[in-house]
Chains A and B, each alone.
Chain A
Amino acid sequence: MTPAASFAALAAANTSTTGCSERQVVWQSGKVKLYRYRPTARPAASAPLLIVYALVNRPYMMDLQEDRSLIRGLLSEGLDVYLIDWGYPDGADRFTTLADYIDEHLAGCVEQVLQAHRLSDLNMLGVCQGGVLSLCFSALYPQRVKNLITMVTPVDFHSPADLLSKWARHIDVAAFVGAGNVSGDVLNQLFLSLMPFRLTQQKYVDLVAEPPDRAGLENFMRVEQWIFDSPDQAGAAFREFVTWFYQENRLAQNRLEIAGRKVDLHSLRVPILNLIGKRDHLVPPAASLALRGLVGSKDYTALEFDLGHIGMYISARAQHEVPASIAKWLASR
C-alpha cells in the first residue's frame, strides 16, 4: 500500500463500526442493557453464559470484528451468550453505588436470563473489573451461579507489580471524586501513564514507520476507538471501588461488605475457572492468581496465557485458545 493509500484508509477507518455478531436487547433497566447473541452452533452447555464486563470501558471489545471476537468464538463453541452493557453514566448517576450495580443491575440481568430459560442458575464470565463484580455477586447470591469464570480479574489489589494500586493508595479519592462522576478521559490518561512511551508514542510511530495493510489499519482504528471511548464513572461506585479494593484490599482480606452484607469468598463453592494474561500490565498475574487461596471452591482451575490485558480478548492467539478453553471447561461440568 502506498503512503497516500494508507493515509486514506486510516481516515476512512475513522468511522468504523464495532460489534459484528447478531444480537438483540432482551432487557433494559435505565442505561443498562442486557443483550442476547444469536446462537450460531448446536447448543453445547446446559446453562447460558452471562458476560459481565467492566464499568471502565465499553463491552464491544468482546465482539470487535469478525476475526477478533471472543463472543463469536464462544458462539461457535455452541454457548448461549448474554452480555451486559452498563451504558454511559451521566450526572444523574453520580450517586449510583456498587450495591446498585450488583444488587439491582447485575441481579436484574441474572433474573431475566434465569426466567427466560426457566433455570435456577447460570454460567457467569466476569471480565476485568466485571470479574470483581461477578465474584461479589457469586458470593452474595451463590444459588444463582452454576459455574464462574473470571478473566483478567484482580483479586489481590496489593500485589507487588500492581502499579495502579501503588498510585491509588495515597490519593484522596473522596476529594478526587467530589460529588460528581469521574471523567473517562481522565482515567484514560492514568491508564496511558502506566506505559507512556509505548502507549502514547511508539504505537503511532510504528504506524507511521511501517503502515499495515488496509485491514490492519481498520483494526488499529477500532482498537483506538475502544481505548478512547471511555464512559465516565458513577462517582459513588468509583469512590467505593478505589477505596475498598485498591486502597484497602478488602476483597483479598475477606472484609468486604456490600450494602451491609459480607462478601465472603471462602463461602464460594461453585466451580471456578480463572483466566490470566501472563503479560498483563493492568492486572498483574499475581493479582489474579491470589483467587485460589481465597475461595472455598474445591473445583478451581487457573489457565495462564502468554498474552497482555487487551490481547486476551483480541489477539489472534486468544481467538484460538480462550473460547475453546472456556467451552471445554464448561462442558466437563
Chain B
Amino acid sequence: MQPDPWQQWQAFSALFTPAAPAGSARNGASSFAPFADLTERFNAAARTYLNGAANGSMPAVAAAARGFSESLRELFGDMPWNLGAGSADGGASPLSALQSPALGATRESQLRAQRITDAWRRVDEAQRRLQRLAADALREAAVAFAAKLAAASPPAPSTEALHKLYGAWIDCAEDAYARAAHGEAFCSALAEYVNASSAWRNELQASIEHSAKLLDLPARSEINSLTQRLRAVESELRGLREARRANAKTPEPKAAKPKRARRKAKR
C-alpha cells in the first residue's frame, strides 16, 4: 500500500523545523524553515484543490483550479521581493517633523537628517513600485496556472503528482516573471530601487563620517586618501624597477681598444 503522500512529503520537512509550534513551521529556527513552511502550505492548497476537483464536473474543477492558483499567488506574494520596506501607509514617514526649515546652530545636522529621511522615502517608493510589478507578474502566473489545471483532469493524490503540480506552478511563475523582468517598466523600477538605495547609503555614510571626524576617529575618506597615495607610490616604484631592468638589458657601448689607441698615440 502506498504511504499517504501528504504525510510522506511533510515528514522530511518537519525535520527542518525543530522549533516550530505544532501544525506550523512558520517560526522554525532552522534556515530551512521557510522552505519547509512553503512545502506545507503548498500541500494544504493542493489538497484543497484536489478535494474540490474530485467530483469531476467541469465547473467544480475550474473553480478549484482558480482557488488553487489564487492561493499560490498569495503564498508567493511576499517572495522574493520582501525587501524589508517601511510602513504600509503609502510612504508617510514618522520622521516627517524633520521636514521643517533648518535653522540655528544645528542647521547642518538637521539638513543631514532630512537628506537621509528623503533618501529613505525614495527607497520606500521605489520598492513599492517594484513590488506592484512583481504582484502583477504573479497575477499573470496565477491565471496561466489555473488555465493549465483546467485543461487537464486533476491527478490522483500522490507524492509524484504533488511534485508535478508544484513544478507546473514554478514554470508559470518563472515565465510570467521573465516577461515582466525583461520589460522596460521593471528594468526602470529596479534601477530606481538600486539608485535610491545607493543614494540613501551614501547619505548615511556622509553623516557617520561627519560624526567620526567630530570624535577624531579615522574616517573612510582619510583611509581612501592614504590608499590612493600608497597606490601612487607603488606605481612609481614599479616604473622605476622596470626602467632599471630595461637599462640592465641594454647592451653597453663597446669599449675602446686601449692598446691600439696607445699605439696610435705613440706614432
Contact = CB atoms under 8 A, between A and B. Distances in A.
Q: Do A and B come from one complex?
A: yes
Interface of A: 3-4, 6-7, 91-92, 94-95, 163, 166-167, 169-172, 175-176, 178-180, 192-198, 200-202, 204-211
A167 B16 contact: no
B25 to A, nearest CB: 11
Contact of A197 (B36, B174, B221, B223): B174
18 contacts: A4-B15, A7-B16, A92-B227, A95-B228, A171-B195, A172-B195, A178-B201, A179-B220, A179-B224, A197-B170, A198-B170, A201-B170, A204-B32, A205-B35, A205-B38, A208-B16, A209-B12, A210-B163
B196 to A, nearest CB: 10
Interface of B: 9, 11-16, 32, 35-36, 38-39, 42, 76, 79-80, 159, 162-163, 166-167, 170, 173-174, 177-178, 181-182, 187-188, 190-192, 194-195, 198-199, 201-202, 205, 220-221, 223-224, 227-228, 231
Nearest to A202: B170
A195 B231 CA distance: 40
Contacts of B194: 171-172, 176
Contact of A196 (B16, B177, B202): B177
B73 to A, nearest CB: 12
Contacts of B32: 204, 208
Nearest to A199: B80
A194 B182 CA distance: 10
A231 B174 CA distance: 28
Contacts of B173: 197
A202 B173 CA distance: 11
B12 A6 contact: yes
Given A3-B11, A94-B227, A208-B16, A200 B195 contact: no
Q: Which of A180, A209, A210 has the most CB of B within 10 A?
A: A209
A209 B190 contact: no
Nearest to A176: B198
B266 to A, nearest CB: 51
